[in-house]
Amino acid sequence: MLKVGYIGLGLMGKPIARNILKAGFPLVVHNRSREKVEELVKEGAIPAFSPAEVASQVDVVFTNLPDSPDVEQIVLGENGILQGGKSGLIFVDNSTIKPGMARHIGKLLQDKGILALDAPVSGGDIGAINGTLTIMVGGPVEAVNLVLPIFKVIGKTITHIGECGTGQIAKAANQIMVAAQMVAMGELMIFAQKAGADPVKVIEAIRGGAAQCWTLDVKPPRLFSGNRQPGFKASMQSKDLNIIIETAKEYGIPLPSCAIDNQLYQSMLQNNMGDLDNSAIISVLETLSNEKFRTQSVGS
């Protein structure tokens, strides 16, 4: 059985690592905050104190980190994966980073005989906990085939997009749609309430038609109950939108709707709401419309 390393035990990384451990894979873990490491050690994981130490012990090493510079540092920096990994190691990045950075890292690792997969995920903390994530994979097919047994533990939909970097392109495309859905959901809920209809009943009605989507299936009950705590932080949604806008500039791609969504999420950050859920974009729309969204029990 493959020995696995996991670096980055945040909101998504910790439940993903836990599912790998529960499936019986020997697991070595590292995280900046040692409390999360110790939590998984009590469940059977092996602790490590640097990315190089993880990479030197395993067949496959995963990372799940906030942004491109973080992945670059963990892979290429002092005591990083490149330093500790040997030829034959497979590197899998579950982070969402710039496609160009994924390609850069993949090339440098390949030069040392390490196969690299960019494998960002979608599905939020619920998907990470339940092992039902969508995984978008870029990189060599031989590495995908070797890692597939692990992917099947953490995800329900696994798609090999193409060469290195294409997994990140797919995730960027995913985040264009996610941001649009979150903003549209906030708009329709405020619209329904201020125009005089019950938002609960409006959601119930439109979920059965052409507007049906994951966002309307999952997020409204949280907002109706007043829960705006993160399943996926608004700050991370904003970071992903910045990646999209910057990558679009590289290729000369106009994204007018995405640019507006990016500004709305920037407004959340400027108002100290970055740690709230990405669905809490409704807070910005409340201010713009001068309409406080009312909490209520679903079905009332």
* pLDDT tens for each residue of 23-67: 999 999 999 999 999 999 999 999 999 999 999 999 999 999 999
Q: pLDDT value at position 27?
A: 98
User: Is residue 299 predicted with pLDDT exceeding 90?
Assistant: no
Strand-strand pairing, 121-122 and 133-138? antiparallel
Residues 189 and 71 in one domain: no
Residues 111, 158 within the same domain: yes
Please report which residue ranges of 23-130 form alpha helices under DSSP H. 34-41, 51-57, 68-76, 81-84, 99-111, 124-130
Same domain, 223 and 281: yes
**pLDDT digit string, tens, across residues 195-208:** 999 999 999 999 99
Is 299 a domain residue? no
Same domain as 100, residue 186: no
Are 141 and 192 members of one domain? Answer: no
Tell me, what CATH number does 230's domain have?
1.10.1040.10
Which residue numbers are catalytic? 171
Report the Cα–Cα distance between both ends of the chain, in Å, rounded: 51
pLDDT for position 298: 66
pLDDT at 236: 96
pLDDT of residue 84: 98
Total domain count for the chain? 2
Q: Which of 163, 186, 217 is the last residue of a domain?
A: 163
Residues 198 and 144 reside in one and the same domain: no
pTM of the predicted model, to two decimals? 0.94
Q: Which two tokens stand for residue 78?
A: 């002092």
Q: Residue 297's pLDDT is what?
A: 75
Helix (H, G, I), strand (E, B) or coil at 114: coil
Shared domain check, 201 and 140: no
Together in a domain, 159 and 187: no
- CA distances to 150, 182, 213 from 217, rounded to whole Å, are 28, 12, 6
The interaxial angle of helices 68-76 and 99-111, nearest 10 deg, is 10
Q: Report, as an integer, the average pLDDT of 192-196.
A: 98
* Range(s) of the domain holding residue 259: 170-289
pLDDT at 300 over 90: no
CB 54 within 8 Å of CB 28: yes
